[in-house]
Every structure is written in C-alpha cells, then in structure tokens.
C-alpha cells in the first residue's frame, strides 16, 4: 500500500475540506502541517516532543540526506524511520529547490542537474531516476519527484521550459518507481502564469500519481498573487487526491490555503522564527528577546497549553536567549510547533462546523501584517 485518501467533510462555501490519509506508518487527518526535519531531525527538539506538540507527519529532504550521511547507509541501518526514531509518516522532498538555490554552481539540462556539493565541493549529478532511487533507499511514505524550480520573477519562456522539464522528469520518475509501499506525488509548476499553471494541472492530473503538489509558490511573490494562482487552478485539482502546497506555513497563509482547497503544508518558517526568538500567539506574533519582556512573568501565550507556556515566563526565555543557552530556542520551537499544529486542529474543527470563514476573520485580524509580506 502507498497511501489511501478519503474526503470526510467539504465546506459549504469554500473549497476547504477535511480528510484522512492512511500510510504504512499510520494515518493523519487533513488539512495538516508537516514540521520540517530536513536533516532527519526537527531542529532543537526530539521526536517525542514533536508528537507532544501534535505532529503526525514530518518532512525530510532527500538531497541533504544523500549528501550526508548517504541514503544507502540509512537504508542499511533500517530506513529513515528507524534511523531518526520516528514511527509515523514521513514525506521526503527531492531537494530540487535546495539544489537550485546553489546557483551559480548548478547546470541543468533535460537529463538532470549538475552541481557541486556544498559540503565538500564534489561534482554531483542528480537525475529523476537517481532521486527516486535515493527516496526508495530512505523508505519514506510519500516521495516528491525531482522538479525544476525557477526564481521569481521569470520570463514566460523560461517558465514554459521548466514546466515541460518538470513533467518529463515526473514521467521518468513514475517509470523508475519500484516500491508499492511508497506514494509519489506530481508537482505543478508554471510560475505566475495562469495559463501555464492550468496546463500543468491538467497534464499532471492525468498521470498515475498519488497526490498533487503545488510548487514554485511562496518564492518571493506577493501573497495575493499566490492566492490568485491557487484560485485559478485549485477548482480543477482532482477531488480524490490530496493536494500539497509546498513551502507555506505562516498562520494566515495556512488558513488562506485551506479555503482554496489545500490539504497539506510544510515550511521551515515556524521553527526558524523560533530559533531567533520569534513566537506565534493567539493575538499575533512578537519577538520574546525584546527588552520589554525583561521582567515579564507571563507565559508566551496565556491561552496556550504547551510545555513551554505551562512552565516558563517570557522573562526567563528572554534570559536564556541573551545568555546564549540552548534551552531558549528549544522552548520557543516547542511553542511554535504547538501553536501551528493546534491551529490546524482548529482549522479542521471549523470546517466540520462550517465556520472556516469565522476562523479566517480571526486569524486575519491578528496576522494581517502577513498580507504585505
């Protein structure tokens, strides 16, 4: 079995819906946020702490894990789940975006991607087939194929080329895939061009893939442009397959994505923000290291039930950061993960009760500054 997906409830006004995805390592409800464990770890926290925060599935990166320690080593040690002590579902990203970010060290053609390792300068060559081999070694539950990620803005000619190459690579990935216990999603590219996005959706939806991933958004474009692209293509996404918006994870973007039909999200932002002292709350976000919190005895969020908020004050957490103690980023990471994963619970409950637009209004009020980010 790869995965099984079932829609449980559709909102009466928007494209929002709840569902359940079953995998060989357990099931999870959608809409879902996947904490990012790029290097086989969610930075600063243990797997048990991710579970305590509400984590059901995490994302790891095949590109980084192939460079270090190597997918064959992970395979020989029992696979990624055993290697990182995580017995729940894992999605692996191919690393296409990360490879492209190495430019000008990258050379791309229809065969694959030539690049130099950022670790030791080795000359490497990734093909769609090689990426599938790596991900099958890792044994993740859901695999992302190699795709060509382009910067924003890009010309229509360059965007067309990346779209065609991404779909050709997907066809090769489908042919290469051998394991029946792993799912493979197809990635929709097309930049900021509605007609190319629509074409990509039609072409990918016609293929034998287990889900649809929307790539190439949240790459620097205005949020409203991202939302307009989703409004254009999501009504035409297959209803019987999960839909994954790659690289999105701010509170307002999660709600806005859900009402446009997205089922799955991931993003490094909540944990990266935490490591720099930034925290989400039910009344917006702030920086806990600011001087105004020097003697503040309140928890980060008085309405939060996470380990951090039940035990520590803003003043103490600020002190930890100022003293460069590792516990500081750990505590803020635990809080931000709890906040985001609890927000997804609230989103699912609001869909079940046909109140998603009420929740959207609340989150917009407290996170409206995101609209200009």
Q: Which residues are catalytic?
A: 93, 266
Task: Considering only CA atoms, give the Rg of the chain.
Answer: 20
CA 44 vs. chain centroid, Å, equals 18
> Could you count the other beta carbons within 10 Å of the beta carbon of residue 303?
9
> Which helix (H) or strand (E) covers residue 63, if one does?
helix 62-67
**Those residues with Cβ within 8 angstroms of residue 259's Cβ, 6 or more apart along the chain or in another chain:** 11, 14, 15, 16, 356, 357, 360
Residue 331, SS3 per DSSP: helix
Contact 112, 173 (CB under 8 A): no
> Which helix (H) or strand (E) covers residue 213, if one does?
strand 211-214
Question: Alpha-carbon torsion 244, 247, 251, 253, what sign?
Answer: negative
Contact 100, 106 (CB under 8 A): yes
Classify 215 in phi/psi space as left (phi over 0), alpha (psi -120 to 50) or beta: beta
Closest CA to 130 of 83, 69, 81, 70: 70
Closest CA to 154 of 216, 234, 247, 225: 216
Question: What is the side-by-side strand order in the sheet with 142-143?
Answer: 32-34, 264-266, 243-245, 211-214, 183-188, 142-143, 90-93, 58-61
* For residue 153, cis peptide bond before it (omega within 30 degrees of 0): yes
Contact 114, 104 (CB under 8 A): no
């Amino acid at each position: 079995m790869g995965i099984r997906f079932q829609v449980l409830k559709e909102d009466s006004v928007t494209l929002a819906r709840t569902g359940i995805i079953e995998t060989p390592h357990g099931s999870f409800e959608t809409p879902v946020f996947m904490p990012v464990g790029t290097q086989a770890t969610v930075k600063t926290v243990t797997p048990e702490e991710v579970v305590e925060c509400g984590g059901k599935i995490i994302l790891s990166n095949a590109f980084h894990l192939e460079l270090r320690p190597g997918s064959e080593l992970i395979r020989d040690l029992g696979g990624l789940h055993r290697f990182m002590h995580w017995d729940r579902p894992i999605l692996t990203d191919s690393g296409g975006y990360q490879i492209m970010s190495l430019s000008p060290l990258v050379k791309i053609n229809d065969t694959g991607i030539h690049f130099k390792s950022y670790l030791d300068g080795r000359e490497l060559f990734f093909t769609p087939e090689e990426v599938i081999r790596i991900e099958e070694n890792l044994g993740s539950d859901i695999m992302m194929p190699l795709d060509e990620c382009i910067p924003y803005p890009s010309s229509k000619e360059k965007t067309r080329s990346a779209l065609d190459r991404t779909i050709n690579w997907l066809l090769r990935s489908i042919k290469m895939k051998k394991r029946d216990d792993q799912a493979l999603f197809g990635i929709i590219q097309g930049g900021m061009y509605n007609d190319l996005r629509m074409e990509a959706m039609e072409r990918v939806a016609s293929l034998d893939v287990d889900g649809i991933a929307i790539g190439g958004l949240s790459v620097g474009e205005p949020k409203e442009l991202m939302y307009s692209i989703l409004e254009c293509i999501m009504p035409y996404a297959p209803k019987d397959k999960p839909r994954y918006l790659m690289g999105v994870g701010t509170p307002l973007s999660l709600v806005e994505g859900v009402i446009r039909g997205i089922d799955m999200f991931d993003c490094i932002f909540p944990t990266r923000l935490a490591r720099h002292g930034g925290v989400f709350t039910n009344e917006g976000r702030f920086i806990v290291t600011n001087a105004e919190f020097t003697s503040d005895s309140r928890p980060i969020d008085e309405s939060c039930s996470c380990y951090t908020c039940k035990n520590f004050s803003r003043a103490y957490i600020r002190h930890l950061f100022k003293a460069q103690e590792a516990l500081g980023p750990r505590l803020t990471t635990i809080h931000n993960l709890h906040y985001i994963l609890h927000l997804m619970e609230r989103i699912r409950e609001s869909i079940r009760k046909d109140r998603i637009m009420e929740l959207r209004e609340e989150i917009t009020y407290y996170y409206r500054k995101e609209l200009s980010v």
